[in-house]
Structure 1
Amino acid sequence: MEVRPWVGAHRTFEMDDSDQHIPVSIAFIGGGSLNWAAELMADLARDTRLRANVRLFDIDHAAARRNAEIGARFAGVSRGAPASYTASASLAEALDGADVVVISILPGSFDDMAQDIAIPAAFGIPQAVGDTVGPGGFVRALRAIPMLAEIARAIRDHAPRAHVCNLTNPMSVLTGTLHAVFPGIRAWGECHEVTKIRRQVAQIANDRAGEAHYGHRDVQVNVLGINHFTFVNRISLAGRDMMPAYLEFVRAHMQEGWVQTEPGKDEEHARYFGTKNLVAFDLFRRFGIPAAAGDRHLAEFLPVSDYLNAPERWGFALTPVAYRVRDREAKLQRAEALRTGERAPRASRSDEALVDQIVALMGGEAHVSNVNLPNIGQMPDLPEGSIVETNAVFTQGGVAPVCAGRLPAALGTLVRDHALRQAALLRAVLDADSAALFPLFRSDPLVAPMPEQAAREMFAQMLAATSHVLPDDLKGAA
C-alpha cells in the first residue's frame, strides 16, 4: 500500500517586508491546562519564526482567563514576535478560523483517576500509570471517547481544514476517535516518550566525547509500535550508526539498570517518575529490539507477573494519584505567581516538538517527529486503520507517515493484539455496543489471568465509580 500525506490547501500569507514571521492562529482546547499550555507559552516565547494568536478554551473559563494573563507575561519576554492570548467563551469561538487546534484535556477528574488505580489494585492488579491500557486505561477511554467525539464534530463544523494535535491519553484510542468521527480531519497524536531513549543515546555520545556536546534533538531514531509501547530499530547521531554503542550500553547495564529522570524535576517527581530502564532493557533481551518508551508505560502492556508485581525489582514506581494532586496544587501556585508577577516567565525551549511541527505545516522548514497516525501502510504488520506510532514528515503539504518496517514477529503479535483491542473499544463506544465492552476489558493482558467472575466484579465497580461522566448507553455495560 502506498503511504502518502494528507494534503491540505496551501496557505499564502501577505506579509510586510519588515515582518518575516509566519502568522498562525492556534485554538487550544483545554486552555486552562497547568502543564501543556505553559509549555507552549514558553516555547512560543523562545521561538523566532511564528507570530501566533492563541485562543484558549476550557470548560473552566476562569482557568482559561488565568492562562491568557500568563500568556501575556510570556509575550513580554519573547525573543521573536510576541504571541497574543485570549480566553474564548465557547468552543466554536476558539475554533473559528484556526490554523492549528491543540487538544489537551483531562477526561474526568483526579478522583476518577484514583478509582481507575485503586479498584484494580484491590483485585491484585497494580498499575504504574493507568491511562493507556489495562483496566485504568480502558475505563479512562470510556470517559474520554465521547468527549473527543464532541470535539471532532466541532472541528468539522468550525475548522475543517485545521491541523489538529491531540495531546490527551489514551493517545491511540482518542486520536482514533478524531479520525472516526470526522474522517477528513488532519489530526495526529503527539507524545514525548521516545525522548527517553534519545536522551540515553545523547548521553552515551557525550560520555564518549568527554563533554556535553549532544542533546536528544541530535539523535535520530526509526520508531515502530503503538503509543507507549514503542521500539526503535535504527539509531543515528551526526551521521554515525549508534545502534552498536546503544546495545553495548544495554548489555553493560542489564543487571543494575541506568537511572533516568526528567531534567529540572524535584526529588519527589524523580521518586515516582524516574526509572532504571530495567523493563526496557529486559524487553530488548526478550525481543531483540530497543524499547523506546518509559518503563512505567511499557510494563502495563504485559501481564502483571512480568513486571508490575515487583516494580521495586524493576526500578520503577507506581505513581499514586495523591502525588498528582499535590503536583497540581504546586503548579497552581506557580501559575498564580506567574499571573501576578511574583514569578518571572522564561522564554525556554521544552522537549516538545509542537512548535517545530507548526512551523513546518505553516510553510517553514520541514520537520520529522514520531507521531500517532492511522496506519495506511507505515506498519504493514499492524492492522490497517489502527493508530500506530512511527516517524512522520511535517511540511506545508501535510503530515506524511514514514514507512517504519516490521517488528520482530513475537513482539509484533503482542502489539497487534493491543492495536486490535483499541480499535474495537473505539468502535464499541461510538456504536453504543455496551455488550462488546466486557469481553474487550477481559482480554487485556493485565485482566486476562483473573477468574471471570472477579473480572466482572472489578469491571462493574469501575463503571459504577465513573458512571457520573459516562453516557447513559454505556452505564449498563457491566
Structure 2
Amino acid sequence: MESEIGNKTDSSATGTNRSEPVENIKIGYIGGGSRGWAYTLINDLAQCTTIAGEVVLYDRIFESAKRNERFGNWVQDREDAIGDWEYTAVEDRATALDNADFVVLSTQDPPPETMAHELDIPADYGIYQSVGDTVGPGGTVRAMRTIPVYRDIAAAIRENCPNAWVVNYTNPMTICVRTLYEEYPDINVAGCCHEVFHTQEHLAELVGKYRDTDQPSRKEIDVNVKGINHFTWIDEMSWHGEDLHPLLETHLEEEIRNRSFKPGALDDESYFVDNELITYELYERFGTFPAAGDRHLAEFVPWFLTADDKTDVQQWGIRLTPSKYRITRQEDALSKFHDPMNGEEEFEFFESGEEFVGIVNALLGFDELKTNLNLPNRGQVSNLPEDAVVETNALFTEDCVTPLAAGALPRQVHNLVSSHVENQETLIEAGFTGDADLAFQAFLNDPLVSISMTNARAMFNEMITAVRPYLEGHWNLESASVIN
C-alpha cells in the first residue's frame, strides 16, 4: 500500500479513468452475521453497477451469517436491484478470506454480556460511561479483549489474502487498526468511521439555516480533520471557499446558549440523543471544533460524566446507554431482516451515506475519493507519535491510499489527545506481551478513572474477572501483581 503523506487532491495526476464494470470481485466479510453494517452493505452493493461478484460471510455464529446470506440474496432477487452479487455463508474463516480482493471487518467476537459488564462494574464505582467502547475503563478492558482477536485476524489475512484491501468498521477503532499493522506491517487496511460525516452534516445544516440557500450535501463541506477516532478535531471548514467558523459563532449565540436540561428531562428520549452541548462547550473553551458526537466526546475528558447520579449527565443533553440495551438490541435488530422477507414490511433501498462502495471504486480506478480515515501516523498529525493510528483525511486512488497532512494539533487540544494516544500505545505493547500490569497503567491514566488507587485496582480486578475467559491464553494474568 502506498502511504506517502500528500496534500494534492488533483485528479488529473491520478490517472483514474476506468469505465468498464469490474466483475468477479470477492469480498470476505469477517463478522458476516452483523445485524447492523451488513444490512447497509447489502443495500449499497445492490445499487452499484460498477462492481460485481461474491460476498463470503464468516461469523463465529454460523446461523447469523446464514441469515445475512438469505437476506442478501433475497435483496439481489428484487427487480429494482441493479447490482449483481451473490452471498455465501461459510463456517471456515480461511474460506472467506482465501484470495479475497477486499475484506470487511465488522465483528464482535464475545457476546454482548461482556460489554454489559464493562458498563455496569464502573457504574458501581461511580464512573459513568455514555458508550464504553473506545476509552474509559470499559474501552480499556474492551481493548484488552480485542487485541488477541485482531492479532489472529491479521495473521489469517497474511496467510490467506496478503494483498487484499481491508476496511475495518469495528470499535475500538484505533486499537483494532493499530493491532492489525503491528501484527502484519504490510497489511493494506484503513479504518472507517462516520462520526466526521455527522459533523459535516451539521455544518451543512448551518449553511442551510444561516445562508439563503438549500442545505447542501455534506460532501460539499470541506474540513481539515486531525486527532484520533471519536476524538477528532476540525480547524478548517469551508463551503465553496467560504469559511464556516462565523456560522458556528452565530449558532452558538442563537441556539446552543439557550439549551439546557435538568436531570431526568431526557428520560423519554432516545439513548442516542445528542444536543451538541458538549461539542460547543469544547469548541468555546479550546477554539477548535470537535468532530464526533457528544456521547463519544464525553468519555475522553473528565468533565461531563462526573456526577453523583447518572441522570445528572443529562444536563449536557445526552443519555447513558444502559447495559440492558446493549444486550437486547441485538435481537431487536433482527426484525429488519425477517419482516421484509416475510412480507410483514416493505423493503426500500436507501441512501446510506457510507463510503465502502466509493472506496472500492476508487481503489479499482473509477474515481478518486477523499474521506477521513484511521491510518498509522506518517506525519499527518505532526505533533503525535509516528506509527500511532490517527484520523485525518486521506485520498483513495487506483490501488493507493495517501494520507493527507493535517498539521499540528493546538497545544491544549494536543494535551487532551496525546494522553489517549499514549494509553493506546501502552495497551498495544501490553497486548503483544501479555502484560496485564502494563495494561493497568493505561487503565489508571484514563481521565474517567478518577477514584482512589484502592478502588481503581478493585474495579480493574472485577472487570478482568468478568471477562476472563476472553483474556486467558493471551494475557499473563496469573503473574500480574495487580490481579488478585
Question: What TM-score do the two structures reach when normalised by structure 1?
Answer: 0.91
Mapped to 2, the partners of 1:373 and 1:201 lie a distance apart of: 25
Of the candidates 314, 317, 331, which is equivalent to residue 312 of structure 1?
Answer: 314
Which residue of structure 2 lines up, in the alignment, with residue 279 of structure 1?
278
5 Å-filtered alignment, 1:346-361, equals 346-361=348-363
Structure 1 residue 64 and structure 2 residue 65: aligned? yes
Residues 355 and 258 of structure 1: is their aligned pair in 2 closer, same or farther, counting only changes over 3 Å? farther
Structure 1 residue 44 and structure 2 residue 26: aligned? no
Percent identical pairs in the alignment equals 37
Aligned-CA RMSD value: 2.3
Assess if the C-alpha contact under 8 Å between 2:375 and 2:389 holds in 1: yes
Residues 84 and 444 of structure 1: is their aligned pair in 2 closer, same or farther, counting only changes over 3 Å? same
Residues 322 and 3 of structure 1: is their aligned pair in 2 closer, same or farther, counting only changes over 3 Å? same
Q: 1:474: how far off?
A: 4.0
Assess if the C-alpha contact under 8 Å between 1:48 and 1:79 holds in 2: no
Assess if the C-alpha contact under 8 Å between 1:22 and 1:362 holds in 2: no
Moved more, 41-50 or 289-298: 41-50
Which residue of structure 2 lines up, in the alignment, with residue 8 of structure 1?
none
3-state DSSP of counterpart to 2:251: helix
Assess if the C-alpha contact under 8 Å between 1:42 and 1:346 holds in 2: no
Which residue of structure 2 lines up, in the alignment, with residue 117 of structure 1?
119
Which residue of structure 1 lines up, in the alignment, with residue 471 of structure 2?
470
Mapped to 2, the partners of 1:270 and 1:25 lie a distance apart of: 42
Q: Which amino acid aligns with 1:441?
A: F
Residues 250 and 353 of structure 1: is their aligned pair in 2 closer, same or farther, counting only changes over 3 Å? farther
Q: 1:237: how far off?
A: 2.1
3-state DSSP of counterpart to 2:440: helix
Q: 1:109: how far off?
A: 1.8
Assess if the C-alpha contact under 8 Å between 2:200 and 2:219 holds in 1: yes
Assess if the C-alpha contact under 8 Å between 2:260 and 2:316 holds in 1: no
Structure 1 residue 204 and structure 2 residue 212: aligned? no
Assess if the C-alpha contact under 8 Å between 2:56 and 2:96 holds in 1: yes
3-state DSSP of counterpart to 1:313: helix
Residues 325 and 165 of structure 1: is their aligned pair in 2 closer, same or farther, counting only changes over 3 Å? same
Mapped to 1, the partners of 2:373 and 2:268 lie a distance apart of: 26
Q: 1:308: how far off?
A: 4.2
Moved more, 339-348 or 118-127: 339-348
Moved more, 429-438 or 457-466: 429-438
Mapped to 1, the partners of 2:471 and 2:437 lie a distance apart of: 15
Q: 1:335: how far off?
A: 1.5
Residues 406 and 311 of structure 1: is their aligned pair in 2 closer, same or farther, counting only changes over 3 Å? same
What's the CA shift string for 1:305-347, capped at 9, x where partnerless? Answer: 4444242111001111222333322211222223445444332
Moved more, 277-286 or 80-89: 80-89
Structure 2 stretches of 5 or more lacking a match? Answer: 8-17
Q: 1:35: how far off?
A: 0.2
5 Å-filtered alignment, 1:314-393, equals 314-393=316-395
Residues 270 and 93 of structure 1: is their aligned pair in 2 closer, same or farther, counting only changes over 3 Å? farther
Mapped to 1, the partners of 2:147 and 2:466 lie a distance apart of: 17
Assess if the C-alpha contact under 8 Å between 1:233 and 1:289 holds in 2: yes
Which residue of structure 2 lines up, in the alignment, with residue 32 of structure 1?
33
Of the candidates 153, 156, 161, which is equivalent to residue 154 of structure 1?
Answer: 156
Q: Which amino acid aligns with 1:288?
A: G
Question: What TM-score do the two structures reach when normalised by structure 2?
Answer: 0.90
3-state DSSP of counterpart to 2:290: coil
Q: 1:356: how far off?
A: 0.8
Mapped to 1, the partners of 2:330 and 2:418 lie a distance apart of: 35
Residues 406 and 247 of structure 1: is their aligned pair in 2 closer, same or farther, counting only changes over 3 Å? farther
Residues 396 and 294 of structure 1: is their aligned pair in 2 closer, same or farther, counting only changes over 3 Å? same
Mapped to 2, the partners of 1:378 and 1:258 lie a distance apart of: 37
5 Å-filtered alignment, 1:73-472, equals 73-77=74-78, 78-209=80-211, 212-257=214-259, 271-303=270-302, 305-309=303-307, 310-447=312-449, 449-472=450-473
Q: Which amino acid aligns with 2:361?
A: V
Q: Which amino acid aligns with 2:315?
A: R
3-state DSSP of counterpart to 1:28: strand
Q: Which amino acid aligns with 1:337?
A: D
Assess if the C-alpha contact under 8 Å between 2:4 and 2:402 holds in 1: no
3-state DSSP of counterpart to 1:350: coil
Assess if the C-alpha contact under 8 Å between 1:375 and 1:386 holds in 2: yes
| Runs of at least 4 residues off by over 6 Å | none
- Give the paired residue count: 458
Q: 1:104: how far off?
A: 0.6
Assess if the C-alpha contact under 8 Å between 1:107 and 1:140 holds in 2: no
Q: 1:83: how far off?
A: 1.6
3-state DSSP of counterpart to 2:127: coil
Structure 1 stretches of 5 or more lacking a match? Answer: 6-14, 260-266
Q: Which amino acid aligns with 2:457?
A: R
